Structure 1
Amino acid sequence: MARVVVVGSINMDMVVRTAAFPRPGETLFGKGFSTHPGGKGANQAVAAARLGAEVTMIGCVGDDAFGAQMKATLARDGVDTRWVSTGRGSTGIASITVSDSDNAIVIVPGANHELMPADVDRAQEAIRHADVVLAQLEVPLGTVLHAAKVARHFGKPFFLNPAPAVALTDELIDLTTLHTPNEHELATALQTGSADWRSTLASMPGRIAMTHGKEGAYYTNGAGELQHQPGFSVDAVDTTGAGDTFNGALAAFWHLGVAEAVWRANAAGALSVTRAGAQGGMPTLAELEQFLEAAS
């Protein structure tokens, strides 16, 4: 069982479905409303836990009903929440309006932006015993950088899913064992400009695993040779959370070697889109094994 520490965001997604988007000043009746646990950090923690990893979450929720609900949801999936602190603000939320196949999203980070380096320091013992430390960019960049430093101090692999994408500092790039962007995030995070993504992967051998939608994932071996893990053919229902599933799975299976981990992560991401919801679609280890057996 892999031990994964996730440093990241915890949100409540609030989804309203409408026939049309309201214009400024207009009030419309909606077709439905639902809430779903989310946040890239929480999503990736749940994905890893369902696939058999022992997962510890380092995050921050608000002192409100959503905060208590989110911690309880993580715990139900077996995620250790002892290092999820309670901040002064509200729990992070995403307000999502959906009309037909389009959506409009407003994110309020709330307590996610209260996650500080000191919170990472309090959880150093968990990082000391981790096999992988995994982070994203929905919490303060300084906290992510500090987590990378603590991981390096204990000699632990530090994975960074650079989403939402921002330009990374040279220090954070160097401290990151494995970058896990999609093609667009790669260009922004590593500031590669118009350079072809293949040359970027080759320039950082063994340090990037890039998702590419239906094509699957690309990575390089230690010699910088490009490797391609093809995508799996599935009937997609909801692509929300596919990338988070890939990242959680990659961390959960990293001890099996990069090729095996990417293969399994790719399959888990594909399987996740066959059901609705980010966390709702994330497979268990038994479901993934069954899927891989059927696909082989």
Structure 2
Amino acid sequence: MSKLDILGSVNLDIVLRVHDLPRPGETVHATQSERYLGGKGANQAVSAARTGADLRFRACVGNDEDGEWLTAQLAAHAVTPADVEVIAGEASGRAYVCVDQAGENLIIVHAGANDRLSLMAEPVEPVEPSRVALAQLETPIASTVDFFRTHRDRGTITVLNAAPAVAEARDSLFALTDILILNESELAFYAGREVLPEDVEDITMLARELIAHENQVIVLTCGAAGALAITQDGLDFTPARLTKVRDTTGSGDCFCGALCARLATGAELDQAIYFASVAASLSVEKNGAAASMPSLEDVELAIFEMTAAEVSG
């Protein structure tokens, strides 16, 4: 059994470069059109694989040209597609991504075959449990519940990137999760707030309302401001590496994959968060999602070369 088991989505990302993101009712012209391997599951699997994880990736694609291309791209990005199921009669998932000149994005997703993801039959013979199991919310929640229950029975650390925000996840998945990863907008959604308060203590109190069991950790990613690790009675802050943003698409996925790659090697959570934060800072310096994920060597070199001036806060 691989040390990291990932359940998640695979999409063909159609990326449109624009000067400014369109407002409701507005038409804008793209300056460039590109296609990439994407989907939160695939992005996180690529990030984890490139940063050294021994992983298994479970996903679905359609039996179409997109599915063939996506499977080949996974293999090209060091993710073995053996557990990627081809669904007859379904189109592969697609995401339409607009990226403006500041690197901010707007994304529309069509799930396609991702909606058919379920757990494949496990081998009858006993297998060594994975150290870490990672999932997101672009695939059926019922399948993720089964995935986490199976792994928790084996003593595996379960990590949920609760994105995109889905209300059902709080009731069905949070209690099965050891490490819950959210960004600020997702925290606001699950906390029932339009916007988050500015004070860190107030944000921490809101996050603690989501804690579903005493050993759970919430990792709150705050972009260029860094990341918080929040427990029922503790708070740790990891500053972000300063960077020149080109494209933020997939940066959160880079963080999740790199964090779980480190946990799967036995690293402590604070070490994993620091490593993942640097990895995400490197990803925003390149275009695309999976295509922008740094290698283990890239991250280690960036950490080695970092100076105090390159750390925010």
TM category (shorter chain) comes to 0.7 to 0.9
Structure 2 counterpart SS, 1:180:
strand
Distance in 2 between the 1:208 and 1:79 partners? Answer: 27
Measure the CA separation in 2 of the matches of 1:99 and 1:210: 25
Structure-2 change in CA distance of 1:171 and 1:33 (3 Å): closer
Separation in 2, partners of 1:261, 1:153: 24
- Confirm whether residue 212 of structure 1 aligns to residue 222 of structure 2: yes
**Once the two structures are aligned, what percentage of the paired residues are identical?**
33
TM-score between the two structures when normalised by the length of structure 2: 0.83
Q: Distance in 1 between matches of 2:77 and 2:288?
A: 15
Compared CA separation, residues 236 and 23, structure 1 to 2 (3 A):
closer
| TM-score, normalised with respect to structure 1 | 0.87
2: CA distance, partners of 1:22 / 1:125:
55
| 3-state SS in 1 of match to 2:272 | helix
Does 1 or 2 have the higher relative contact order (CA < 8 Å, sep 6+)? 2
Please say which of residues 43-52 and 85-94 is displaced more in the overlay: 85-94
- Cα separation, 2, equivalents of 1:8 and 1:227: 28
- Say which SS state the counterpart of residue 234 (structure 1) adopts: coil
Q: Is the 8 A contact 2:129 2:151 kept in 1?
A: no
98 and 33 in structure 1: CA distance in 2 versus 1, 3 angstrom threshold? same
Q: How far off its partner does 1:224 sit? A: 2.1
Distance 1:123 1:136 in 2: 24
Amino acid of the structure 2 residue aligned with 1:135: A
Match of 1:111 in 2: 113
Match of 1:143 in 2: 143
How far apart, in 1, do the equivalents of 2:193 and 2:18 lie? Answer: 39
Distance in 2 separating the partners of 1:239 and 1:103: 7
TM superposition shift of 1:261: 0.6
Q: How has the CA–CA distance of structure 1 residues 12 and 124 changed in structure 2, closer, same or farther, with 3 Å as cutoff?
A: farther
Contact 2:105–2:249, Cα closer than 8 Å, also in 1: no
Output the amino acid matched with 1:162. A
Secondary structure, counterpart of 2:52 in structure 1: coil
Gaps of 5+ in 1: none
* Residues 1:215 and 1:169: Cα distance change in structure 2 (over 3 Å): closer
SS across alignment from 1:181: strand
Structure 2 vs 1, CA of residues 191 and 7 (structure 1 numbering), >3 Å: closer, same or farther?
A: farther
Q: 1:218 to 1:286 in 2, by over 3 A?
A: same
1:64-103 Cα shifts (integer Å, max 9, x gaps): 1111111111112221221110113100001234565576
Q: What is the alpha-carbon distance in structure 1 between the residues aligned to residue 100 and residue 270 of structure 2?
A: 39
Aligned partners of 2:291, 2:56: CA distance in 1, in Å? 20
Matches within 5 A, 1:151-162: 151-162=151-162
